[in-house]
């Protein structure tokens, strides 16, 4: 049974095709045939042809090995290196988790009233109510 390829968004397909044209041009600038490229990468000639024709089913590993053979492996490290959106999302999530918790706290207990002999006011202190024992 043939390998099923999921549909590719048109914008992504254009990006794949542009990359494949750049890879083909890089290979040709080095005066390298598809046969030599296939041998160095470790794949078949039809696989290199599919890659250069913009076939989205070509594996990422093959693309990375082609870049390495062409001497463009340094470009691999630049892919998604500046992930500004991802960093913003991560920073916002960290701000939310590190924010102080806003919990309701119990009212602070008030100190007991001072004894009448130490009080400077003329109003006697309020005494707590006590229950009378039941007979």
Residue 101 belongs to a domain = no
**In the block, residue with structure tokens 């913009």:** 54
Residue 53 belongs to a domain = yes
At residue 94 the predicted structure's pLDDT band, cuts being 50, 70 and 90, is confident
Three-state secondary structure readout of 7-67: CCCHHHHHHHHHHHHHHHHHHHHCCCCHHHHHHHHCCCHHHHHHHHCCCCCCCHHHHHHHH
Which residue segment(s) compose the domain that 49 sits in?
10-69
**In the block, residue with structure tokens 């078949």:** 44
Residue 108 belongs to a domain = no
At residue 7 the predicted structure's pLDDT band, cuts being 50, 70 and 90, is confident
Q: Which of 27, 6, 26, 8 is nearest to 16 (CA)?
A: 8
| pLDDT of res. 122 | 62
pTM > 0.85: yes or no: no
Number of compact structural domains in the chain: 1
We report the CATH number of the domain holding residue 50 as: 1.10.260.40
Query: Tens of pLDDT along 23-45?
Result: 999 999 999 999 999 999 999 99
**DSSP 8-state secondary structure symbol assigned to residue 98:** H
Residue 78 belongs to a domain = no
Q: How far apart are CA 8 and CA 69, in angstroms?
A: 27
* Number of residues in the chain: 135
Q: Which of 101, 30, 112, 16 is nearest to 63 (CA)?
A: 16
| pLDDT of res. 121 | 54
């Amino acid at each position: 049974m043939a390998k099923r390829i999921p549909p590719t968004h048109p914008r992504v397909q254009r990006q794949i095709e542009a990359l494949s044209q750049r890879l083909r041009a890089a290979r040709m600038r080095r005066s390298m045939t598809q046969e030599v490229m296939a041998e160095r990468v470790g794949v078949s000639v039809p696989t290199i042809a599919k890659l250069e024709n913009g076939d989205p089913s070509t594996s990422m590993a093959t693309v990375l090995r082609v870049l390495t053979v062409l001497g463009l492996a340094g470009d691999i490290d630049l892919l998604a290196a500046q992930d500004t959106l991802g960093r913003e999302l991560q920073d916002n999530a960290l701000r939310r988790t590190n924010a102080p918790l806003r919990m309701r706290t119990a009212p602070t207990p008030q100190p007991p009233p001072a004894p009448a002999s130490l009080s400077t006011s003329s109003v006697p202190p309020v005494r707590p109510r006590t229950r009378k024992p039941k007979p």
